[in-house]
């Protein structure tokens, strides 16, 4: 056994993040670590990677007990981790992030730096990642950061690699490359621990499974012996369906009309109408311009050409503030834009985009704020003690749910969701989709960008596909993944679709 964790415990103040964490991984296997948001997956892995110290329990490395106090100690015995939340140094380049120890602060010699850039370039090229060694990490999208984290972890020659949701921001081609990397590591007899909320990934990659619920290991076994529904019921402790369906209804008046929207080098002459009651899906590869389109509509980037109408009226959206005023909301995977204030309470985060909604005669009604927060916490199944807990203390998926709640509370007319379910567990995804349908029913128009085609096929009334900054086609909601891929990759010749 490469690594064995027995009865691991970890408390944060009053919260038991782990009560009885058990896990055993052999060399040469890909071990899936599954569980709902807040189940304790990242905490357990941070203990293995030396980022968090356990309160109790045993950790055996090749049969001998170890106590790791720092990431450097973990790296020394051969543990590397791809983190869920980027731990990269934003002001440094891709190459520097891949090859530098985080604690290294002295300036590097010129030769060493050049070697790092060359080695990084080779690594990037080898995996066909859409990155450049000399780019600054702060300029990268969440997907780009994920790829840098992956490069960083695999270049150390470790014997255990931990991937904490490595593909949550990635689309098809990049995800396939991550799978290839994982399979290569397995073939080299390394141990791999892989955390994901994308159920369709499980069979493509996993050998054995450990499932956590509320900080306890509730199931361990071979993946082949479990159905997906069994996995889900172990995870959530109740029956949940992983498929989702709704009946479409006739769309109403135009809510969002884009006419020739252009942002130089990013999106090219995009015209599009969203009607009240509609959920329109948007597919495409990384870099196809989907996020850029959302940013332009939301006033983050200024369009060079084109117009935006909301509910039939021409609007000038030159800032996110103006967008919110015009009735547009954006949920993104990039929390720098959606602005989660990590030190502030959950309730404040949920209501800060709509303070009027919790005010009476211009005065904040804190009781109402607490009620609103408590309601979203229940409905979105957010694992928190109360709305007064700082948002930064939540697990990754639960933070994303707070972002969603924040924008739901603005009650917009046009709702842009950019990868809204990133990192959200299967049980809560259904709740998010329910909210989307309620919004649509109440007359909002919804644009949902997702790299998970399965998700688009379940939720969208129609699907628009983007490629190289342009709309390359439109499909009915009941189309196939093949059709979407065809439009997404048409003529690009970069990927062969199998």
Ligand X SMILES: Nc1ncnc2c1ncn2[C@@H]1O[C@H](COP(=O)(O)OP(=O)(O)OP(=O)(O)O)[C@@H](O)[C@H]1O
Q: C-beta of 39: minimal distance to ligand X in Å?
A: 4
Compose the 5-24 pattern: x for residues touching ligand X by CB under 6 A, - for all others.
-------x--x-x-------
Site for ligand X in 421-480 (CB under 6 A): 423
Q: Quick one: 295 or 383, whose CB is closer to ligand X?
A: 383
- The DSSP string of 182-226 is HHHHHHTT-EEEEE-S-GGGHHHH-SEEEEEETTEEEEEEEGGG-
Pick the piece of the chain touching ligand X (CB under 6 A) from 38-46, 107-115, 437-445, 458-466.
Answer: 38-46
**22, 42, 175, 354: which one binds ligand X (CB under 6 A):** 42
Chain position whose Cβ is nearest to ligand X = 397
Mention every residue, 6+ apart, whose C-beta is less than 8 A from residue 467.
284, 285, 288, 289, 487, 488, 489, 490, 492
Q: C-beta of 331: minimal distance to ligand X in Å?
A: 16
Measured distance CA(466)–CA(283) in Å, rounded:
6
Compose the 72-91 pattern: x for residues touching ligand X by CB under 6 A, - for all others.
------------x-------
Q: Quick one: 252 or 392, whose CB is closer to ligand X?
A: 392
Measured distance CA(256)–CA(416) in Å, rounded:
11
Smallest CA-to-CA distance from 236 within 44, 430, 21 is with: 430
Measured distance CA(192)–CA(448) in Å, rounded:
33
Pick the piece of the chain touching Mg ion (CB under 5 A) from 39-47, 228-236, 341-349, 424-432.
Answer: 39-47
Q: Which does 37 bind (CB under 5 to 8 A by kind): ligand X, Mg ion, none?
A: ligand X
Q: How many Cβ atoms sit within 10 Å of the Cβ of residue 374?
A: 15
Q: Which does 394 bind (CB under 5 to 8 A by kind): ligand X, Mg ion, none?
A: ligand X
The dihedral of CA 67, 73, 79, 80: what is its sign? positive
Q: C-beta of 426: minimal distance to Mg ion in Å?
A: 14
**Residue keyed to tokens 């990039």:** 334
Pick the piece of the chain touching ligand X (CB under 6 A) from 36-44, 63-71, 91-99, 108-116.
Answer: 36-44
Q: Quick one: 142 or 396, whose CB is closer to Mg ion?
A: 396
Tokens standing for residue 256: 């969002």
> Counting runs of H as helices and runs of E as strands, what totals does the chain give?
17, 22
Q: Quick one: 44 or 131, whose CB is closer to ligand X?
A: 44
Tokens standing for residue 184: 């290569």
Q: What CA–CA distances, in Å, run from 97 to 71, 77, 88, 136, 437?
A: 15, 21, 6, 9, 41
User: Is residue 277 a contact point for ligand X (CB under 6 A)?
Assistant: no
User: Is residue 393 a contact point for ligand X (CB under 6 A)?
Assistant: yes
**How many chain residues are in contact with ligand X, going by CB under 6 A?**
20
R_g (Cα) of the chain, nearest Å:
23
Q: Quick one: 354 or 395, whose CB is closer to Mg ion?
A: 395
Q: C-beta of 168: minimal distance to ligand X in Å?
A: 9
Site for Mg ion in 382-441 (CB under 5 A): 395-396
Mention every residue, 6+ apart, whose C-beta is less than 8 A from residue 110.
none
Site for Mg ion in 70-109 (CB under 5 A): 84
1 contacts 55 by C-beta, under 8 angstroms: no
Residue 359 has phi, psi (to 5 degrees) of -115, 150
Our CA angle for 112, 114, 115, nearest 5°, is: 65
**172, 345, 397, 420: which one binds ligand X (CB under 6 A):** 397
Q: Quick one: 338 or 398, whose CB is closer to ligand X?
A: 398
Q: Quick one: 84 or 291, whose CB is closer to Mg ion?
A: 84
User: Is residue 43 a contact point for ligand X (CB under 6 A)?
Assistant: yes
Q: C-beta of 175: minimal distance to ligand X in Å?
A: 18
User: Is residue 42 a contact point for Mg ion (CB under 5 A)?
Assistant: yes
Measured distance CA(484)–CA(469) in Å, rounded:
16
Q: C-beta of 396: minimal distance to ligand X in Å?
A: 4
User: Is residue 383 a contact point for ligand X (CB under 6 A)?
Assistant: yes
- What are the residues binding Mg ion (CB under 5 A)? 42, 84, 395-396
- What are the residues binding ligand X (CB under 6 A)? 12, 15, 17, 35, 37-43, 84, 383, 393-398, 423
């Amino acid at each position: 056994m490469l690594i064995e964790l027995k009865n691991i415990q970890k408390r944060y103040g009053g919260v038991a993040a782990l009560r009885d964490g058990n896990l055993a991984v052999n060399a040469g296997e890909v071990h899936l670590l599954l569980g709902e948001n807040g189940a304790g997956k990242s905490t357990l892995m941070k203990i293995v990677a030396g980022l968090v110290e356990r309160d109790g329990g045993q950790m055996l490395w090749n049969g001998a007990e170890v106590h790791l106090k720092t990431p450097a100690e973990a790296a020394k015995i051969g543990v590397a981790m791809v983190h869920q939340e980027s731990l990269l140094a934003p002001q440094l380049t891709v190459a520097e992030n891949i090859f530098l120890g985080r604690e290294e602060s002295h300036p590097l010699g010129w030769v060493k730096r050049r070697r790092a850039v060359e080695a990084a370039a080779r690594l990037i090229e080898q995996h066909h990642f859409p990155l450049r060694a000399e780019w600054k990490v702060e300029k990268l999208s969440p997907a780009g950061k994920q790829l840098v984290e992956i490069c960083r972890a695999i270049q150390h020659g470790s014997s255990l690699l931990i991937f904490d949701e490595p593909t949550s921001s990635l689309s098809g081609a990049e995800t396939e490359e991550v799978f290839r990397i994982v399979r290569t590591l397995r073939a080299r007899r390394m141990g791999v621990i892989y955390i994901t909320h994308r159920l369709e990934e499980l069979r493509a990659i996993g050998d054995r499974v450990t499932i956590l619920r509320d900080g306890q290991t509730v199931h361990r076994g071979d993946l082949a012996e479990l159905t997906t529904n069994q996995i889900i019921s172990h995870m959530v402790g109740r029956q949940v369906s992983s498929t989702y369906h709704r009946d479409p209804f006739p769309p109403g008046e135009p809510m969002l009309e884009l006419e020739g929207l252009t942002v130089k080098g990013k999106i090219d002459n995009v015209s599009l109408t969203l009607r009240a009651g509609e959920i329109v899906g948007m597919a495409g590869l990384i870099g196809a311009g989907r996020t850029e389109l959302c940013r332009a509509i939301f006033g983050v980037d200024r369009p060079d050409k084109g117009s935006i109408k909301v509910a039939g009226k021409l609007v000038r959206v030159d800032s996110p503030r103006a967008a919110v005023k015009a009735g547009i909301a954006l949920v993104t995977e990039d929390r720098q834009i959606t602005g989660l204030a990590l030190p502030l309470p959950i309730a404040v985060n949920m209501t800060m985009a709509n303070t009027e909604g919790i005010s009476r005669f211009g005065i904040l009604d804190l009781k109402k704020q607490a009620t609103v927060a408590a309601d979203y916490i229940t409905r979105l199944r957010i694992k928190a003690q109360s709305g007064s807990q700082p948002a930064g203390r939540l697990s990754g998926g639960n933070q994303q749910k707070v972002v969603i709640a924040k924008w739901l509370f603005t009650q917009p007319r046009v709702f842009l969701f950019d990868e809204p379910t990133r990192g959200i567990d299967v049980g809560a995804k259904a709740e998010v989709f329910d909210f989307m349908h309620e919004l649509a029913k109440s007359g909002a128009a919804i644009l949902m960008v997702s790299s998970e085609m399965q998700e688009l096929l379940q939720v969208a009334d129609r699907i628009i596909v983007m490629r190289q900054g342009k709309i390359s086609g439109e499909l009915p909601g009941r189309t196939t993944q093949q059709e979407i891929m065809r439009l997404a990759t048409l003529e690009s010749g970069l990927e062969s679709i199998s």
